[in-house]
Amino acid sequence: MLYAKELPKELWAEAINITVYILNRVPAAGEDKTPYEQWFGKKPSIKHLRVFGTNCYTLIPKQLRKKWEPKSKRGKLVGYTDTDKNYRVWDEERRRVDICRDVKFDNTSELSNTANISLDMGDRGQLQESPAGQSTSDNQGREEEKDMKEMKMMVVN
């Protein structure tokens, strides 16, 4: 993951943490519930999930900038916090991880060299690959359980 996103090796713990974070929100083979759901008794939200290493822009608060200075700074997503309102963002300039709430993601940089991988929870782990931009969902009628029935992850080819 680090190599694919050209991130430094010192972020290995962030890569492990985000992997565990996602695995806790996906049911294991033969299980009806996710580890998160078994522990907390409720379904996890996955609408905030983004691709590891995605370019993003974090807001610089008004108190820390002057009139003609930039309002945001560029970073890369490296993780999540316990709440789904904050993200862990790698600041290359200062070489540190910041916890940020006001983040805009640059999804356009990912689209040119990615493929959609659909993980259908009904099939318990069977992966279906399709070209970028095409949907592999055949469960169009089940909108309310869509988050848990199908999870789409962008993977770099």
Rounded Cα distance between 56 and 65, Å, is 19
Give the pLDDT band of residue 109 (cuts 50, 70, 90): low
- Average pLDDT of every residue of the chain: 77
121 near 83, Cβ under 8 Å?
Answer: no
Q: Could you report the per-residue pLDDT of 19-40, keeping only the tens digit for each? A: 999 999 999 888 889 999 999 9
Please name the residues in contact with 96: beta carbons below 8 A apart, sequence gap of 6 or more: 90
- Are residues 15 and 52 in contact, defined by beta-carbon separation less than 8 angstroms? yes
pLDDT of residue 136: 41
Task: Count CA atoms within 13 Å of residue 57 on its CB side.
Answer: 9
Phi and psi at residue 99, in whole multiples of 5°? -100, 120
Q: Per DSSP, which regions of 23-141 are E strands? A: 55-59, 72-80, 87-91, 96-100, 103-105, 114-120, 127-131
Taking 50 as the threshold, does the pLDDT of residue 153 lie above it?
no
CA dist., res. 75 & res. 103, Å (int): 10
Domain ranges of the chain: 3-107
Alpha-carbon distances, residue 9 vs 3, 57, 65 (angstroms): 8, 22, 31
**Torsion angle of alpha carbons 77, 80, 86, 92, nearest 10°?**
-30
φ/ψ of residue 7, rounded to 5: -105, 155
Per-residue pLDDT tens for 36-79?
A: 999 999 999 888 999 999 999 999 999 999 999 999 999 999 99
CA angle 6, 10, 13 (to 5 degrees): 100
